[in-house]
Amino acid sequence: MITPQTIGNILHQDCKALGINEIYVVFEGDDGKSEDFPHIDPEKGLEREMIIIHVKKQIPSKYWKNSFNEVNIFVPRIQGYSNRIRLAELERQANKLLDDVVSTYDGTTYRYSIESIGTEADTALKCHYVNVRILFEVLNVKL
């Protein structure tokens, strides 16, 4: 059985291929105050690259359990400006690594693909990030 916790673990493992060491998984309903969540000084803003995976609830349907999750790849600014070259590189890598993935976990088939991808600014953290919205589907029938 694949649960939201499992989805978080799968996406965490797959995101390691992006080459960023700091990867955090946050679940729907978390308040962002967990010990596992990065604490960033608002005065300094983001000082290092990191990935935050936001895992949401599964919605069962006839054949699949669906969930829309987000992978946010944060890139600090350089001398106050967005690092567009690095953002573009990470966006290309994410398109290759996180789209049209089909596999099994503990005998259960799953697939996920990119629903949308783009860059955004986070003024509070003084950075930009690649937002990847992923549709994660778990087979909901016994074979």
Query: SS3 of 39, please?
Result: coil
In this predicted model, what pLDDT tens digit does every residue of 108-138 receive, in sequence order?
A: 999 999 999 999 999 888 999 999 999 999 9
Name the pLDDT band for 30 (thresholds 50, 70, 90).
Answer: low
For residue 34, is pLDDT > 60? no
Specify the pLDDT at position 32. Answer: 54
Least Cα distance to 25 among 89, 70, 82 occurs for: 70
Backbone angles phi, psi at 132, to 5 degrees: -115, 115
**Mean pLDDT to the nearest integer, 6-14:** 97
CA distance 44 to 46: 7
The reported pLDDT for the residue numbered 45 is 85
Instruction: Enumerate the H helices of 1-143 as residue ranges.
Output: 4-15, 84-97
The domain limits of the chain are 4-139
> What is the reported pLDDT for 62?
86
54-112 pLDDT, tens digit each: 999 999 888 899 999 999 999 999 988 999 999 999 999 999 999 999 999 999 999 99
Assign domain 4-139 to a CATH class: alpha beta
d(CA 80, CA 68): 32
Q: How much is the pTM?
A: 0.91
| Of 34-43, 44-53, 61-70, 89-98, minimum mean pLDDT range | 34-43
